Amino acid sequence: MLMLGSLAALALGTAEPLPWQAAFHESSETVAPAQDTNALLKAYDSAMFGKRFDEALAIARKFESAGPEGQAYVAAMQASALVGLKRDSEARALVAKAKELAPSSPDSSRVMFLGGLLTDRPDVAADALDRMIAIAPDMVRELNWEWIRFFLGHEPKGQDSRNEDRRIALARIGYSGETEVGHWRAANAVDILVKRGDFSGAGEFLEYVNEPRAFENMLIQRRYAALWSQLETLAGPHLEKIREASLRSARAEYASAPDDHDKLQLLANALRHAGRFDEAMALRAKLPATSAEMSLADEPMGWAVNNVALAFHEAGRADDADRLFALLNDAPMPKEYWRISMKINRLELLVMDGKFDQALPLVEPTAKTEGSPYADQLVRRLRYCTLSSVGRNDEAAKYLPDLLGHAADAPGPTIDGLLCAGELDKAEQVALDSLNGEKKDSFAEDFLRQLQTHQLTSDDPSVWQGRWQELRARPAIREAFDRLGRDLPPQLLPPPPTHVPAK
């Protein structure tokens, strides 16, 4: 399944995924809220968002703010615009001035963090975020996840240790709290500390992870073996404690904001992961019912549709799942960049179910939707698998070089496609090459999940599942699996679902 963040659109330049308007100023009281000042603030935001940095600088210079904090804030506004104009020395001088004027105030750093993101200067954003973590962790905990997610995907290059320290610090201050985001931040800190060999430090974060998939990933990888006993105690039989903690968090978030589509999609996902398909399917009532209503859906609503559709599929109601995906994917929308995820996931289910004739007409329209390199490779894999499965082998062969040429973009899905077509030799080679490649750690996790003898959380059975087991029987693959991991012990496997499909 494809899970793309909305920030992909920013990288593609196809949308306005971040709420930048008033973002610089939504929590600050350092600039007086006079009517003229508010108009200037809006004009400044508009100029920064539009990358009209010379205009933004001119507007920022019109502010007259009393007191050191207000002056520091305006200095940061000017510095952000100067960064966009590549006048770094002037910007640095103003940042230094802001710190001198208000050494304990984080507001100017917040402006610089957002300015660094908007001007494509992760180094500027990193400096600002590090200062906020040090002097104002409460402010950091409330930062919009979309901003943090985009930053974490564009951290300064060549600063691996510092970047890792920052990720640990975000988890340590409890960034995003008892939420799915907070759980995965804690899991990220565990991963970093394990790589450093600091198992004691890693163990301190385990109780904050509370994500079934994250626990499974750690419990099947030998590099976490020193933590297995602690993980099993925290998780309980079938990871029930973790599933319940995750669901509890999702329920609380949704109850606090029932009109928030993001909270809705997180709840649907938590219910799925807990095996509570009936409850997840009941959320269909919260989704748009008609094409006209669906055409107004935003991305979080799109993910809610996606997750409820997956619940239908996992409950044995494949046709209902496909109708729901079709309603979303076919609804008229002026912009559809984020729907690539849902288009791919609909195709995934059709291919998994062996419905190749239904999948085939959807492949090329999906391929024409702009996506990330990973998403593009998923479509290549689905095309190759589908054509091979309907007997159009000569046509499929034409796409094989392109599939293999992009294997590094998505090694696991590439292997899926090769296995679907019966190309076990090529699949084995891609797997072994990937285990020694640049992304070997992330692939190893995928490799171990796919080779499990029993299905894990949200790992759907598919047309290639049996082929992965054939692949595992090969000596080199079996040796790699035994060296890197293990099957999840039976007592930790997902519980049976609350909904049993009708025969």
Assess contact for 262 and 19: CB atoms under 8 A: no
Instruction: Please give the DSSP secondary-structure letter assigned to residue 143.
Output: S
**Rounded to 5 degrees, what are φ and ψ at 196?**
-85, -5
% of the chain with per-residue pLDDT over 90: 77
Residue type, 436: N
Assess contact for 93 and 115: CB atoms under 8 A: no
pLDDT at 192: 97
Q: In whole angstroms, what is the distance from residue 353 CA to residue 309 CA?
A: 14
Q: In whole angstroms, what is the distance from residue 301 CA to residue 127 CA?
A: 34
Mean pLDDT of 18-40: 54
Region 19-143: CATH code: 1.25.40
Residue 133 pLDDT more than 90?
A: yes
CA angle 118, 119, 123 (to 5 degrees): 105
**Rounded to 5 degrees, what are φ and ψ at 144?**
-55, 130
Q: How many CB atoms lie within 10 A of CB 34?
A: 9
Task: Identify the band that residue 17 occupies on the pLDDT scale cut at 50, 70 and 90.
Answer: very low
pLDDT in tens, 434-458: 999 888 888 999 999 999 999 898 7
pLDDT in tens, 351-367: 989 999 999 999 988 88
Residue that wins the pLDDT comparison between 368 and 30? 368
pLDDT at 222: 97
Task: Identify the band that residue 459 occupies on the pLDDT scale cut at 50, 70 and 90.
Answer: low
Distances from the Cα of 236 to the Cαs of 111, 212, 215, 253, 493, in angstroms?
Answer: 44, 11, 11, 24, 11
pLDDT at 22: 47
Mean pLDDT of 219-248: 96
Residue 32 pLDDT more than 90?
A: no
Taken in order 231, 145, 83, 109, the sign of the CA dihedral is: negative
Residue 259 exposed, middle or buried by CB count within 10 Å (0-12, 13-18, 19+): exposed
Task: Identify the band that residue 3 occupies on the pLDDT scale cut at 50, 70 and 90.
Answer: very low
Mean pLDDT of the chain: 89
- Please give the model's pTM, rounded to 2 decimal places: 0.85
- Helix, strand, coil shares of the chain, percent, nearest 5, are 70, 0, 30
Task: Identify the band that residue 40 occupies on the pLDDT scale cut at 50, 70 and 90.
Answer: confident
Residue 89 pLDDT more than 50?
A: yes
Mean pLDDT of 336-345: 88
Q: In whole angstroms, what is the distance from residue 247 CA to residue 269 CA?
A: 9
Instruction: Please give the DSSP secondary-structure letter assigned to residue 179.
Output: S
pLDDT in tens, 398-447: 999 999 999 999 999 999 999 999 999 999 999 999 999 888 888 999 99
Residue 439 exposed, middle or buried by CB count within 10 Å (0-12, 13-18, 19+): middle
Radius of gyration of the chain (CA): 24
From the list 203, 199, 273, 187, the residue with the least C-alpha distance to 238 is 273
Residue 197 exposed, middle or buried by CB count within 10 Å (0-12, 13-18, 19+): exposed
Q: In whole angstroms, what is the distance from residue 183 CA to residue 208 CA?
A: 6
Mean pLDDT of 233-253: 94
**Given the structure tokens 């009393």, which residue do they identify?**
66
* Strand (E) or helix (H) holding 48: helix 35-49
Where are the chain's structural domains?
A: 19-143, 157-248, 257-334, 356-496
pLDDT at 23: 56
pLDDT at 444: 94
